[in-house]
């Protein structure tokens, strides 16, 4: 099922018409498909760099998944159109951040003049029900960032807020 990502009310993005994500769980895997429509030429889309772990991807166009766990712990996964990625574990809200040792996700990109599609296959380190926050940071040419999520529970953009982890699989 396709779910729309909503632009944070304090963000602006003239180049994007819509942004949605599909999430499907199969066994110990999670498949995500982010689909952005708009004027892709007006976006700052990182060029293909080859897969690899890179910090700070959220400073540019990046698609993300937050996976809530018991006791306030959670995991953050970042996927860039360059096919670079990152994974972090947190012990609590924005605390105890540490790189996660995971199997590298598979990331596929398809881009046209009016669409950017990012497909991700991720092996999950957890069993049982999942609570997900699905998000994106979109950078326009010129450097303006916009923040997109299933839900924005805070006045300022905050993808780490547990109130945004609303999708259950």
Residues 6+ away with beta carbon under 8 Å from 122:
29, 30, 31, 32, 65, 77, 102, 105
Q: Determine, yes or no, domain membership for 87.
A: yes
Q: Determine, yes or no, domain membership for 169.
A: no
Range of weakest confidence among 16-20, 150-154, 165-169: 165-169
CATH number at residue 160: 2.60.40.1190
**pLDDT, the chain, mean:** 94
pTM of the model: 0.95
pLDDT digits (tens, 9 = 90+) for 128-140: 788 999 999 999 9
Q: Determine, yes or no, domain membership for 51.
A: yes
- What percent of the chain has pLDDT above 70? 98
Looking at the structure of the chain, the number of domains it has is 1
What CA–CA distance (Å, rounded) separates 168 from 166?
Answer: 6
Q: Determine, yes or no, domain membership for 89.
A: yes
Q: Determine, yes or no, domain membership for 102.
A: yes
Q: Which domain holds residue 73?
A: 2-164
Q: What is the mean pLDDT of residues 64-82?
A: 92
């Amino acid at each position: 099922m396709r779910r729309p990502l909503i632009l944070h009310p304090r963000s602006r993005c003239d180049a994007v018409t819509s942004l949605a994500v599909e999430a499907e769980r199969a066994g110990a895997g999670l498949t995500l498909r982010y689909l952005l429509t708009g004027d892709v030429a007006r976006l700052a889309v990182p060029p293909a760099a080859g897969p690899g772990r890179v910090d700070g991807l959220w400073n540019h166009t990046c698609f993300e998944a937050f996976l809530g766990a018991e006791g306030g712990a959670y995991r953050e996964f970042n996927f860039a159109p360059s096919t670079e990625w990152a994974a972090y574990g947190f012990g609590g809200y924005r605390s105890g951040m540490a790189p996660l040792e995971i199997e590298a996700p598979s990331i596929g990109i398809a881009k046209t003049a009016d669409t950017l599609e990012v497909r991700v296959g991720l092996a999950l380190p957890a069993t049982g029900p999942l609570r997900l926050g699905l998000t994106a940071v979109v950078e326009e040419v010129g450097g303006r960032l916009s923040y997109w999520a299933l839900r924005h529970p805070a006045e300022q953009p905050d993808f780490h807020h547990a109130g945004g982890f609303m999708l259950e699989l």
